Amino acid sequence: MKQFSGLLFIALLAPLLFLGCTKPKGVSFDENLYSDDSGIVRWKKDGSIFSGETFALLCEECTVPLLNHWPVHFVGNYKNGIPHGTFWIAKSGRQDDYFEYKKKHTQLQIQYQEGKHLLETP
């Protein structure tokens, strides 16, 4: 009976661990997308044009969901395969740098409108 109550406790507690989790929203760029020769972002599965939010993880092995650790190189939005909306990159501005997804709003923000670079906010 003690084992059953212990398992029940774990089953009830486990979902609570993920309530505060800020797993990246959107699509993993490296796993699902590519940029064609003209710079248009497309789905790997069928070559259709991508619209939505995407992110590039530092590495799959680097993520620790239970600790809410999601290091990313960038988070960005595309519309019809071109940058549109907000992109977040590391404060350093280097493409090889990374940041915690949950802290994206403290990073360098770049605004795009239909592929045109409008504004950078440190």
Instruction: Please compute the mean of the pLDDT values over residues 71-82 and round it to a whole number.
Output: 95
Phi and psi dihedrals of 76, rounded to 5? -155, 165
Q: How many residues does the chain have?
A: 122
For the chain, the domains span: 20-121
Q: What is the pLDDT of residue 37?
A: 97
Residue 60: CB atoms within 10 Å: 9
Say what the pLDDT of residue 62 is.
73
Q: How far is CA 57 from CA 15, 93, 106, 112, in A?
A: 24, 16, 17, 21
Residues 107-116 have pLDDT tens digits of 999 999 999 9
Is pLDDT above 90 for 65? no
**94-100 LR contacts (CB < 8 Å, sep 24+):** 97/73, 98/58, 98/71, 98/72, 98/73, 99/71, 99/72, 100/69, 100/70, 100/71, 100/72
